[in-house]
Amino acid sequence: MDDAEMGNGAGTALAMEGIQASTSRLNALFLEDSALEAGGGAGAGVDVLQRRYELCLERMAVAKQLEAQIAAVKAGDAAEAVGIQHAMTPPDAPLHERTYAEMSAVEEIAGVLTLSSPAAGALVAQARQLATLPLAMDALAAGTISWQHAKILVDETDALGTTGTAALVAHFLDPDAPKPARGAAAGELVPNRFRAKVRGWRERHHPETLAKRHSKCAADRRMECTPDRDGMAWLSLYLPADTANAIWNRTTALARGFQGPEEARTMSQLRPDVAAHLLLSAGPAPSHAQESTPDRTGTAERSTVEGTDAPVGLASLSVNDQTDAAPIGTDAAGPTVGDASAAAATDVNSACADLASVPVPKADVLVTVPVFSLLGVTDEPANLDGYGPIPASMARKLVADGANSFHRVLVDPRDGAPLEIGRTSYRLTKAMKQALRLRDGKCTFPGCNNHSLDNESDHLTAWQLGGTTGISNLAQLCPKHHRLKHNSRWTPTPATETEPPGWTSPTGRHYKAEHQDWEPPHWPPGLLAAEPPEFQAAEPPLEEPAGDNFVDPADVPADDSLWADFYAMPPKLPGDPLKGWGLVHC
């Protein structure tokens, strides 16, 4: 029984104290609600319905905390029970006896919790790993993170090593860590967003390079088909991130192009229909320039592939599926596919000649690559919008071969954050939209995971109310939350050049912004002491001006007109250090 498992008793005692406090708080809220419902306990000017609504929210918040505290007790006891079972087994017992003793404990835990054996085994493994993370166990016992958050920490610290594990947990749970995570606390993030942030940190700080780990995992790429009920099935692909993201983005763009007044299918239905058509058709892929043709009844119009009459999304056969007995373009009732399909059949071999080779994604790629990583001097991971860290080799391939447009972004060398890009008119430039995508990464509404490609740019302070079109007054919102903002009392807090806005709910609850954990780029060994001077990391000492006709900005009041003149001057950006190097497509 190791020290971590022996210390579970103290952790359980801490959780029990929290459970008692949470239970008392929950009981008090129920009593107040009962009094209001009975018509008593409401003072003058109290909106009874509004207060009862707030009490429902407060009880749910306490219940969430109570669930985490109970999960801490359960996890602590599961780890401690197995530890005690080990302690009861003689040290000199043979391996098979110790193995069966642990199996017996796991099976008994499964029976007590009404779990399957594999589920109980997973719980025990997670609980024992969590016992080695005192910061995480204490946060769970205090109810500041949920069991889902705790499991994420356990998953993402696997194979990270003792030092890396301690640094990761401290980064997200210890406010006194050297470089703590910015923005919303771990427990304030929905689990999938918390996993994305933890995974991003892990990829950058893993002792083994991302490129090496990626090369191992790429060998496991596969396609799986899982039968489901009602004549349905799940088709999944395990692919490199850039390929998977490109497939998703292209499918989404094509599906959006088919939407219209006559299209009854939703985006969720159009995506699989488009993907199935692309996979099963040997002809050209559908594009935005679609022809509308009547269906067999002549009463409805459907989008079709260029050069054919095959409707997208219908169960039509590809040219490879046709038989000699049934010529392409005909059936018993007459022509159904169109004359163009016959011509397409003659080119089927050439069209399918390179099906086994995966092309480099031809897409509008927003990928942030540290300059030395782009040049191949370091292997620091790049960041693919909508996914997260990717190997430097993948980023270089995207930039050199695949991306129709690669957006070079000026970043602050001190912390890696994108710099301000602004404009004085209402409409955003393309550069501003890309900068906004970089800063926010997703819809900024609390808990939303909608990626940049589908989001809209919104003025936090409306243009007609004096709001400016600068990145500090802009935020990404998905269509759903964009509508909610303009039709409810959800209000954003101010943003900055490098930080997205937080949000305040109609009941006054504040949700902090989810900051991206930007980090300064890695410098190659020996480069800091080399020429040219612009690559020197250390800042030169400040020099006092020779004359006395200079003004210290700290001495100028905030409302002085000098500031208006200063901000009216266009910024002068440094020259492009990559110009002429032949590696970047702008």
129 shares its domain with 165: yes
Residue 451 located in a structural domain: yes
166 shares its domain with 199: yes
The DSSP bridge pattern shows strands 291-294 and 233-238 to be: unpaired
Q: Which residues contact 39 (CB under 8 A, 6 or more apart)?
A: none
Number of residues written out for the chain:
586
Q: What CA–CA distance (Å, rounded) separates 136 from 133?
A: 5
Amino acid at 168: L
298: left (phi over 0), alpha (psi -120 to 50) or beta: left
pLDDT for 434: 75
Measured at the CA of 247, the angle between CA 262 and CA 305, to 5 degrees, comes to: 40
Q: What CA–CA distance (Å, rounded) separates 291 from 417?
A: 45
Residue 51 located in a structural domain: yes
Q: How far is CA 5 from the centre of its chain?
A: 34
205 shares its domain with 243: no
Q: How far is CA 332 from the centre of its chain?
A: 51
Q: What CA–CA distance (Å, rounded) separates 339 from 35?
A: 77
Q: Give the residue numbers spanning the domain of 502.
A: 430-511
179 shares its domain with 260: no
Q: What CA–CA distance (Å, rounded) separates 198 from 194?
A: 6
Taking Cα atoms as reference points, which of 56, 49, 23 lies closest to residue 143? Answer: 23
- Per-residue CA distances from 410 to 322, 373, 534, 539 (Å): 54, 15, 15, 18
Measured at the CA of 99, the angle between CA 94 and CA 105, to 5 degrees, comes to: 130
pLDDT for 8: 57
Q: How confident is the prediction along the chain (586 residues), in pLDDT tens digits per residue?
A: 455 554 555 566 778 888 999 999 999 999 988 888 887 766 667 788 888 999 999 999 999 999 999 999 999 999 999 999 888 888 888 888 888 888 888 998 999 999 888 899 999 999 999 999 999 999 999 999 999 999 999 999 988 888 999 999 999 999 899 888 888 899 999 999 899 889 888 988 888 888 888 888 888 999 998 888 877 889 999 998 888 888 888 888 888 888 888 889 988 899 999 998 888 875 554 444 444 444 434 433 444 444 444 444 433 333 333 333 333 333 433 333 334 333 433 443 444 444 445 555 554 556 666 767 777 777 778 777 667 788 878 777 776 665 554 444 434 445 555 444 333 455 676 767 777 887 888 888 888 888 766 788 888 888 777 777 777 888 999 888 898 888 888 999 988 877 889 999 988 888 888 877 777 777 777 665 444 444 444 444 545 555 555 566 666 676 777 666 666 665 555 455 444 444 443 3
Pair of tokens at residue 392: 């430097």
34 shares its domain with 183: yes
Residue 372 located in a structural domain: no
Number of domains in the chain: 3
Q: What CA–CA distance (Å, rounded) separates 453 from 447?
A: 17
92 shares its domain with 202: yes
The DSSP bridge pattern shows strands 405-406 and 364-365 to be: parallel
Residue with tokens 């025990």: 124
Residue 547 located in a structural domain: no
Report the interhelical angle of 134-142 vs 48-88 (nearest 10°).
140
Q: What CA–CA distance (Å, rounded) separates 294 from 303?
A: 9
Final residue before a domain boundary, out of 448, 477, 511: 511
195 shares its domain with 243: no
Phi, psi of 24 (to 5 degrees): -65, -45
169 shares its domain with 81: yes
CB atoms within 10 A of CB 139: 25
- Per-residue CA distances from 577 to 45, 375, 573, 582 (Å): 65, 12, 11, 12
Q: What CA–CA distance (Å, rounded) separates 578 from 417?
A: 19
Exposure string of 55-87, with b = 16+ CB inside 10 Å and e = fewer, is beebbebbeebbebbbbbbbbbbbbbbbbebbe
Report the interhelical angle of 147-156 vs 117-131 (nearest 10°).
80
Classify residue 533 by its DSSP letter. G
Amino acid at 287: S
Question: Where does residue 435 rank: exposed (0-12), middle (13-18), buried (19+ CB within 10 A)?
Answer: buried
211 shares its domain with 256: no
Residue 81 located in a structural domain: yes
Residue 173 located in a structural domain: yes
Classify residue 132 by its DSSP letter. T
Q: Is 586 helix (H, G, I), strand (E, B) or coil?
A: coil
Residue 189 located in a structural domain: yes
26 shares its domain with 117: yes
Q: What CA–CA distance (Å, rounded) separates 471 from 459?
A: 9
Final residue before a domain boundary, out of 465, 495, 511: 511
Residue 485 located in a structural domain: yes
194 shares its domain with 255: no
- H or E segment at 384? strand 382-384
499: left (phi over 0), alpha (psi -120 to 50) or beta: beta
| Beta carbons of 63 and 27 less than 8 angstroms apart | no
203 shares its domain with 263: no
Final residue before a domain boundary, out of 351, 372, 402: 351
The DSSP annotation for 28-54 comes to HHHHHHHHHHTT-S--TT--HHHHHHH
Taking Cα atoms as reference points, which of 435, 438, 446 lies closest to residue 194? Answer: 446
